[in-house]
């Protein structure tokens, strides 16, 4: 495929080209948007950690240490900015997350250790999300309201109004706990499915609007289907208009723009208890998944190298500082892989473990996980 290879066209790891300032700036700008330099560096570091983990994950899928890779290189700016702004916790006073399979950056920014991602990728019994059963990136964290990710695309958009309804009711009964919102994330191709319409419809019933942040990360591809070829509209965000939903399309590769767009959208959902549709234009730097080879595609904008250059040019960090962050992140990812690969795989007995919650049926049909009468 043209423009596809494992090696960067000019320099190793998009290394920084120049540093022009010595006095650290207070803020980092993008057009009219601003974030503090401190925040910009926090986002930058998390983006590097995410990329390092994804690149190590791809290597695992190629070396045979893992069987399948899918993830979000090219979506780090959006994912990290989202993860850092989540009100993390358990129950309706906190945010619910209905993610999809490209959101490692959200989870790392929220505080998930790298090894928990690797445990799932390597199908270890220690995988806290699915006990080694599910694909990588299919997170599930009850303590953080991270609803299990499913490979079946778009169903998360039909579920989000459910948790948002609970949050709205909870907030009406407990006004001091009325800021929890439901955040749902998916790609643009999936929005052609009815579940997306369900979300628009259920979150806008008159007088019963719901605090749902519908995020669509638009990488312009549904596996190998070009968005332009199957969609008459230019912007997914325009789908919000008939429902009276507020919406915005943002450059998802620009962390400063994304941070502010998410801040606006989340504040609106929290305070107004109404939905918002945020479309982020992102890149897909390693194709759809390992099924299509996961080679680097150099023709697309890289949010990480662009931000790196801006931070160095503005004097927020110097090249040595950037290298230090990369060394640290790569070492963290390597250590996570080494540790996870030493952990046990699930056993035959583990197959039925954690599949069904205890129920009254258990006493009626002991030792029968299906709960159904035995076949005669």
Interface with ligand TPP by CB under 6 A: which residues?
102, 151-153, 186-190, 219, 221-223, 288
CB of 368 to ligand TPP, least distance (A): 31
Q: Which of 227, 291, 293, 285 is nearest to 252 (CA)?
A: 285
Indicate the residue among 30 and 218 with the shorter CB distance to ligand TPP. 218
CB of 189 to ligand TPP, least distance (A): 3
Indicate the residue among 161 and 222 with the shorter CB distance to ligand TPP. 222
Indicate the residue among 180 and 190 with the shorter CB distance to ligand TPP. 190
Angle between helices 255-272 and 76-85 (to 10 degrees): 40
CB of 142 to ligand TPP, least distance (A): 24
CA dist 298 and 14 (Å) reads 11
CB of 339 to ligand TPP, least distance (A): 29
Indicate the residue among 294 and 311 with the shorter CB distance to ligand TPP. 294
Eight-state DSSP code of residue 148 = P
Residue found under tokens 């519908």: 214
CB of 190 to ligand TPP, least distance (A): 3
Indicate the residue among 120 and 167 with the shorter CB distance to ligand TPP. 120
CA dist 92 and 88 (Å) reads 11
Q: Which residues, in sequence order, are CB contacts of 360 under 8 Å at separation 6+?
A: none
CB of 193 to ligand TPP, least distance (A): 6
Q: Which residues, in sequence order, are CB contacts of 327 under 8 Å at separation 6+?
A: none
Q: For the range 345-349, what are the long-range contacts, defined as Cβ-Cβ under 8 Å and sequence gap of 24 or more?
A: 345/123, 345/124, 345/125, 345/132, 346/123, 346/124, 346/125, 346/131, 346/132, 346/133, 347/125
CB of 281 to ligand TPP, least distance (A): 12
CA dist 139 and 280 (Å) reads 22
CA dist 63 and 189 (Å) reads 30
Angle between helices 37-63 and 319-341 (to 10 degrees): 40
Q: Which residues, in sequence order, are CB contacts of 370 under 8 Å at separation 6+?
A: none
Indicate the residue among 19 and 140 with the shorter CB distance to ligand TPP. 140
CB of 153 to ligand TPP, least distance (A): 4
CA dist 216 and 90 (Å) reads 24
CB of 99 to ligand TPP, least distance (A): 11
DSSP for 29-94, please give it: EETTEEEEHHHHHHHHHHHHHHHHHHHHHHHHHHHTSSS-----TT-HHHHHHHHHH----SSTTS
Q: Which residue is nearest to ligand TPP (CB)?
A: 187
CA dist 334 and 348 (Å) reads 29
Rg of the chain on CA atoms, in Å: 22
CA dist 253 and 195 (Å) reads 27
């Amino acid at each position: 495929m043209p423009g596809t290879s494992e090696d960067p066209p000019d320099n190793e790891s998009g290394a920084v080209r120049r540093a022009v300032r010595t006095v650290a700036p207070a803020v980092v700008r993008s057009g009219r948007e601003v974030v503090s330099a401190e925040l910009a560096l926090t986002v930058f570091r998390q983006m590097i950690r995410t990329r390092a983990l994804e690149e190590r994950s791809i290597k695992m899928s190629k070396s045979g240490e893992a069987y399948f890779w899918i993830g979000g290189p090219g979506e780090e700016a959006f994912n990290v900015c989202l993860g850092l702004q989540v009100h993390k916790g358990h129950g309706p006073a906190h945010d619910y997350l209905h993610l999809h399979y490209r959101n490692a950056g959200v989870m790392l920014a929220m505080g998930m250790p790298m090894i928990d991602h690797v445990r799932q990728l390597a199908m270890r019994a220690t995988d806290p999300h699915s006990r080694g059963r599910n694909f990588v990136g299919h997170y599930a964290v009850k303590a953080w309201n991270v609803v299990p990710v499913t490979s079946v695309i778009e169903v998360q958009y039909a579920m989000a109004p459910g948790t948002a309804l609970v949050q709205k009711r909870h907030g009406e009964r407990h006004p001091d706990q009325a800021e929890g919102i439901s955040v749902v994330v998916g790609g643009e191709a999936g929005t052609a499915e009815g579940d997306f319409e369900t979300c628009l419809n259920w979150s806008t019933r008159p007088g019963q609007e719901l605090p749902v942040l519908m995020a669509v990360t638009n990488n312009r591809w549904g596996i190998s289907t070009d968005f332009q070829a199957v969609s008459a509209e230019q912007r997914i965000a325009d789908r919000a208009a008939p429902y009276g939903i507020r919406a915005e399309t943002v450059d998802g590769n620009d962390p400063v723009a994304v941070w502010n767009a998410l801040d606006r959208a989340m504040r609106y959902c929290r305070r107004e208890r109404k939905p918002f549709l945020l479309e982020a234009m992102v890149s897909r730097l390693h194709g759809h998944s390992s099924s299509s080879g996961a080679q680097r595609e150099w023709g697309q904008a890289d949010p990480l190298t662009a931000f790196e250059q801006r931070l160095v040019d503005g004097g927020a960090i110097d090249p040595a500082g950037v290298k230090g962050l990369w060394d640290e992140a790569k070492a963290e990812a390597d250590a996570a892989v080494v540790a996870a690969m030493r952990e046990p795989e699930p056993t035959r007995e583990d197959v039925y473990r954690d599949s069904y919650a205890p129920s009254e049926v258990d006493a009626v049909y002991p030792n029968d996980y299906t709960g159904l009468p035995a076949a005669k």
